[in-house]
Amino acid sequence: MGRVDLRKIFSVEFPIIAPVVVKPLPGSPGYAGDLERVIAAAVKDAKLLDEGGVDGLSFENLGDAPFFKNVAPPETIASLGRVIGEVRRASSLPIGVNVLRNCASASLALSYVHGGRWIRVNVLTEAYVTDQGIIEGTAADLMRYRRMLGAEGVAVFADVHVKHAAPLVQRPIRESALDMVERGMADALIVTGPRTGSPPSGEDLEALKGPKEVLIGSGLDHENARSLLPLADGAIVASCLRKGGNVMNPVDPQRVRSFLSIVRSLRR
């Protein structure tokens, strides 16, 4: 697909993508037995995020822990598709998909059929030790699947030194990123801290400047946005937009508005 121009997708500088954190779906240990309530909660959060001024929505089955490595079961894909379809009726924002943990083909299929513009892939290249075990890069299968579907318009946003993981072989982050771009065909890069809610370092953001546009993938908040966001091209923001700063809580409209006011002040 080549280099992604985030401004063509989101029409703004420093776009803010907000995950719709989906509650446990059918088949997962935490599923409460009522898919309609899961859908209603997702639609409510999406509307609040849209009204608060975010620039895009992503869909993550974060409630489904513990996650499968790279193949999501059919009930997960089917029920997440229901959620995405209903949210699409309520919001016209650009969307992307991230089926956890590293179910890249499912993410691509869902994004493609629902008119999405991107997917997030946690492990596109290299190999990482995670709480799911060792996860290997999926680039070869994913890029061929994208070509087979004719889904080249769906960008691959790929994590470099992904959170909640440790690389089998430690390499400088820029070297990992260059291989991800040149050999894994990533369209944009995501950099995070070590865990959900932890920000990346300024040094890591600086190291990734150049080959592709860079998104901050965790830990951006009201306190650090002015210092970190100008080092990147955009961000995926979840925890700080929710009640108490907890990613699993409902969206807090006041937090959304106040955070987006900071972002707007940084745009030229």
CATH match of 6-266 with 3.30.390.50: no
What is the sign, positive or negative, of the torsion defined by CA atoms of 86, 55, 31, 62? Answer: positive
Q: What is the pLDDT of residue 210?
A: 87
What single DSSP character describes residue 251?
B
Sequence-ordered strand ranges (E) for 61-171: 95-98, 118-121, 127-130, 133-136, 155-160, 165-167
- Which residues have a Cβ under 8 Å from the Cβ of 258 and sit 6 or more positions away? 222
Compute the distance between CA of residue 183 and CA of residue 140 in angstroms, rounded to an integer. Answer: 9
Cβ atoms < 10 Å from Cβ of 1: 15
Q: How many CA atoms lie within 13 A of 16 on its CB side?
A: 27
pTM over 0.85: yes
Compute the distance between CA of residue 78 and CA of residue 73 in angstroms, rounded to an integer. Answer: 9
Domain boundaries, the chain: 6-266
Cβ atoms < 10 Å from Cβ of 109: 20
Q: How does pLDDT run across 143-183, given as a tens digit for each residue?
A: 999 999 999 999 999 999 999 999 999 999 999 999 999 99
Q: What is the pLDDT of residue 53?
A: 97
Q: What is the pLDDT of residue 3?
A: 61
Q: How does pLDDT run across 50-63, given as a tens digit for each residue?
A: 999 999 999 999 99
The series of mean pLDDT values per 10 residues for the chain, 268 residues long, is 81 96 97 98 98 98 96 97 98 98 98 98 97 97 98 97 94 97 97 93 94 95 97 97 95 98 93
Q: Which amino acid is at 72?
A: A
